[in-house]
Amino acid sequence: MGAGQTVAVFGAYGHTGRFVVTELVERGFVPVLSGRDTGKLTVLAKETGLDARPATVDDPDSLDRALAGTAAVINCAGPFASTTAPVIEAALRAEIPYLDVAAELEANIDTFTHFADRARDAGAVVVPAMAFFGGLGDLLVTAAMGDWNEADEAHIAYGLSSWHPTTGTRLSGAVSRERRGERRMRYTGGQWQYRTDAAPTRQWRFPQPMGPRSVIGEFTMADVVTVPSHLSIPEVTTYMTANAVQDIAAPGTPAPAATDESGRSDQTFLVDAVVRLGGAERRVAAHGQDIYAVTAPLVVEALERVLTGRTRTVGVAAAGKMFDALEFLRALSPHVTLELLS
């Protein structure tokens, strides 16, 4: 466990950041609270009794002070298009591992593009998208691959009972739309493609008890960045249940509301990952509660493995490349229930 190691959490007072801080404390780490809003940091510091170090991404010295003496940094502050590069730069200067929970496609693409060589040459560990979107799907696809060295296609279907977005999710989505315009992205033929037509609707047969559901196809999430970054799969597609897409598209959908003492909402999820090669198919699924809360055990499990040397590479790497995917997924119990379907 953490054994009292200090870990900086940038964006500690956000919805997901608070879950991460709690998970760190439960595992024996000592979070150092950081972020741009001094007022919110002060309130959280009083609630938790933890050290608060305000920092802004346009002030490198403040980031250096926030990370000083820490063992690693977890970036929970969106929009990640603004925060990722400055916090990675600070982590490289401090010579500590960097992990984030970014779901923004462009921010994750930028991380691989701009920091892969530098992080590898420095022997640094940078793990982007170590969250529900990006990390979990990547681990599931990697586990499904097993001993396959390549596959023809990978499909990741998200079955959400509902999707009540946080303020951070809405802000990140707005930033992505500003960069992308009216275009949507898909990964096909081993490369990114921009489309202006409407995403297709289809039926997806989720494992029971969810069963068949209407999904929006080519609803491209961070997994479509992480999976092909290390697996030889030219076609990677993600899907989202239509009801969840309607929820997040509606401006009046409220933020998630706590329904238990841990602060989790009652929203549930089932993620179904399928890989195909020739006529063969392999399938792994996972289910649990609250897509934001489950990000905390995902990123903190990754952190613990990084700090204890249970990694497979250095540089910028997705979860499935950095860790033993099946072992990692099993370690997430009881937060995530794993199903090996084929």
Tens digits of per-residue pLDDT, 222-248? 999 999 999 999 999 999 999 999 999
More reliable by pLDDT, 190 or 173: 190
Whether pTM > 0.85 for this model: the answer is: yes
How many angstroms separate the CA atoms of 115 and 48, rounded? Answer: 34
Tens digits of per-residue pLDDT, 280-318? 999 999 999 999 999 999 999 999 999 999 999 999 999
Q: Are the beta carbons of 6 and 69 closer than 8 angstroms?
A: yes
How many angstroms separate the CA atoms of 315 and 126, rounded? Answer: 6
Tens digits of per-residue pLDDT, 197-209? 999 999 999 999 8
Q: How many residues does the chain have?
A: 342
How many angstroms separate the CA atoms of 274 and 140, rounded? Answer: 9
Kindly tell me if the per-residue pLDDT of 1 is higher than 80: no
- SS3 label, residue 80: helix
Beta strands in the chain (DSSP E): 6-10, 30-35, 52-54, 72-75, 98-100, 125-127, 153-160, 184-188, 191-195, 201-205, 212-216, 235-241, 268-277, 280-289, 315-316, 336-340
What average pLDDT does the segment 116-138 reach?
98
Gyration radius from the chain CA atoms: 19
Task: Please name which of 270, 271, 274, 294 lies closest in space to residue 282, comparing C-alpha atoms.
Answer: 274
Kindly state the tokens that stand for 245.
């897409």
Kindly state the tokens that stand for 271.
């993620």
Task: Please name which of 321, 281, 247, 327 lies closest in space to residue 155, comparing C-alpha atoms.
Answer: 281
Kindly state the tokens that stand for 312.
């497979």
Q: Please report how the helices 80-94 and 167-180 are oriented relative to each other, as an axis angle in degrees rounded to 10.
A: 100
Q: Domains of the chain by range and CATH? A: 6-130+295-322 (3.40.50.720), 133-292+326-340 (3.30.360)
Tens digits of per-residue pLDDT, 66-121? 999 999 999 999 999 999 999 999 999 999 999 999 999 999 999 999 999 999 99
Beta bridge partners of 202: 215
The sign of the CA dihedral 142, 275, 236, 80 is negative
What average pLDDT does the segment 251-271 reach?
96
What average pLDDT does the segment 174-189 reach?
88
Q: What is the DSSP string of 176-205?
A: HHHHHTT-EEEEETTEEEEE-SPPPEEEEE
Model confidence band, residue 182 (pLDDT cutoffs 50, 70, 90):
confident
